Amino acid sequence: VPIKAFMQAFVASEVVLLTGSLVTPDGSGFDPLLFDKQGVLHVAVFTDMARVGFHTQQAPHVLRWPMLDVLRRVPGGYGVAVNPGTTLGFEISPSGVGEILKDFT
């Protein structure tokens, strides 16, 4: 699969986010599962509930959002950890988040 086609499908897909507290309709209470990767915080997202594994012990509440919406809400200076702890995992650096938004919005 060409990388552009992969990225188009990826940003259009729905992903799973874990949060430590219940999120109200106005968005308050959102406390996403974060990973520190060499001093840079990364928001954890999962491409399927089956990949969440033991992480629900840290953040038991589940949200499903379109990946593009997740990327739009990632704070500056944060990256994204996709499927952390799995063989299908990868990371998007903070600058990579910006590049994806530039290319796909």
SS3 per residue for the chain: CCHHHHHHHHHHCEEEEEECCCCCCCCCCCCECEEEECCEEEEEEECCHHHCHHHHHCCCEEEEEEHHHHHHHCCCCCEEEECCCCCCCEEECHHHHHHHHHHHC
The pLDDT score that the predictor gives to residue 51 is 95
The pLDDT score that the predictor gives to residue 71 is 95
Which architecture does CATH list for 3-104?
3-Layer(aba) Sandwich (3.40)
As a whole number, the mean pLDDT across the chain is: 92
Reported pTM? 0.90
**pLDDT tier at 22 (50, 70, 90 boundaries)?**
confident
Q: Is the pLDDT of residue 60 over 80?
A: yes
The pLDDT score that the predictor gives to residue 30 is 84
Domain-wise residue ranges, the chain: 3-104
Q: Is the pLDDT of residue 78 over 90?
A: yes
